[in-house]
Amino acid sequence: MKFFVDSAEIDEIRELAETGLVDGVTTNPSLIAKSGRDFTETIKEICSFVDGPVSAEVTSTDVDGMVEEGRKLADIAENVTIKVPLTWDGLKACRAITQGGTMVNVTLCFNANQALLAAKAGATFISPFIGRLDDIGLDGMDVIQEIRAIYDNYPDTLETEILVASIRSPNHVKLSALAGADVATVPPKVLRDLTKHPLTDKGLDAFLKDWKSTGQTIL
């Protein structure tokens, strides 16, 4: 499973990218606003050191506006992926932008039917928001499993990758991987938290104490 960082904070993304664990980045207007930086310059800088897809979201809601914005954003760098909402106009824009040779991430997906439509429209990625489904009392992972089953039924015609979004915890990442999702887009904190386990910390502490008691050094 690929990891995308869900952030617009340049320094944070750069640090994580240096680990070799980052396969791409997702941004949205809210994350850009939070960073306080210029939208276009932020996307351009991220693309300069991240080789994988970098999602940049359109702000228009009509098909013509989305296509126009999408083409402008695609000019920033070859690895820009255009994010469009899962609306009727968004699906039309997805089709047009994809046919122009640019990757498209259809976002704000909340059920399998929507994901099927996005795949039919040629989406490169579909972004189901599992955390927001959990927030309203549903199980977001059920949707991931349903989408995976539908896509797997038609491997020759539905090539869209499942990009799990609105991830809140390491458990969401694990369940996404178990369900066969292609990508997890994770906040930086969640990505770092994947390394953590109390027994790892306890074991390392014991090893270091034992090593110190020998009075030896490696260097």
Does the annotation mark 72 as catalytic?
A: no
Core vs surface per residue 28-50: b (16+ CB within 10 A) or e:
beebbeebeeebeebbebbbeeb
User: Which residue from 36, 93, 38 is spatially nearest to 62, judged by alpha carbons?
Assistant: 93
Catalytic residue among 72, 83, 189, 209: 83
Residues 6+ apart with CB under 8 A from 2: 23, 24, 52, 182, 183, 184
Classify 127 as helix, strand or coil: strand
User: How far is the C-alpha of 33 from the C-alpha of 199, rounded, in Å?
Assistant: 39
Active site residues: 83
